[in-house]
Chain A
Amino acid sequence: QLQLQESGPGLVKPSETLSLTCTVSGDSLSSSTYYWGWIRQPPGKGLEWIGSISYSGNTYYDPSLKSRVTISVDTSKNQFSLKLTSVTAADTAVYYCARRGDRGFGEFPLDYWGQGTLVTVSS
Chain B
Amino acid sequence: DIQMTQSPSSLSASVGDRVTITCRASQGITNSLAWYQQKPGKAPKLLLYAASRLESGVPSRFSGSASGTDYTLTISSLQPEDFATYYCQQYYSTPLYTFGQGTKLEIK
Question: Given the known A-B contacts A100-B94, A115-B43, are A107 and B99 also in contact in the complex, defined by CB atoms under 8 Å?
Answer: no
SS of B interface (majority): loop
- Closest Cβ of chain A: how far from B63's Cβ, in Å? 16
Tally chain B residues at the interface, Cβ within 8 Å.
26
**Interface check B16, CB cutoff 8 A:** no
CA distance A39 to B102 in the complex (A): 14
B44 and A35 within 8 A (CB)? no
Contact pick for B87, options A35, A37, A47, CB 8 Å: A47
Contacts of B36 in A (CB 8 A): 47, 110
Q: Which of B36, B46, B98, B100 has the most CB of A within 10 A?
A: B46
Decide if B96 touches A62 in the complex (CB within 8 Å).
yes
A46 close to B1 (CB less than 8 A): no
Give, as a whole number of angstroms, the nearest-CB distance from B31 to chain A.
Answer: 9
B102 touches A46 (CB 8 A): yes
Question: Any chain A CB within 8 A of the CB of B49?
Answer: yes
Please determine whether B99 and A46 come into contact, CB atoms closer than 8 angstroms: yes
Whether the pair B94, A103 counts as a contact (CB closer than 8 A) is no
Q: Which residues of A contact B101 (CB under 8 A)?
A: 46
A100 to B89, CA, bound (A): 12
* CB of A105, distance to nearest CB on chain B (Å): 8
Asked whether A60 lies within 8 Å of B87 as measured between CB atoms, the reply is no
Cβ-defined contact, B96 with A103, below 8 A: no
Q: How far is the CA of A112 from the CA of B89 in the complex (A)?
A: 15
A52: CB under 8 A from chain B?
A: yes
Bitwise, A75-96 to B at CB < 8 A (1) or not (0) is 0000000000000000000001
Task: State which residues 89-119 of A face B: CB under 8 Å.
Answer: 96, 98, 100-101, 103, 105-111, 113-116
Known A101-B49, A108-B95, A110-B44; further 8 A-B contacts with Cβ < 8 A: A46-B101, A46-B102, A47-B38, A47-B87, A49-B96, A110-B46, A113-B43, A116-B43
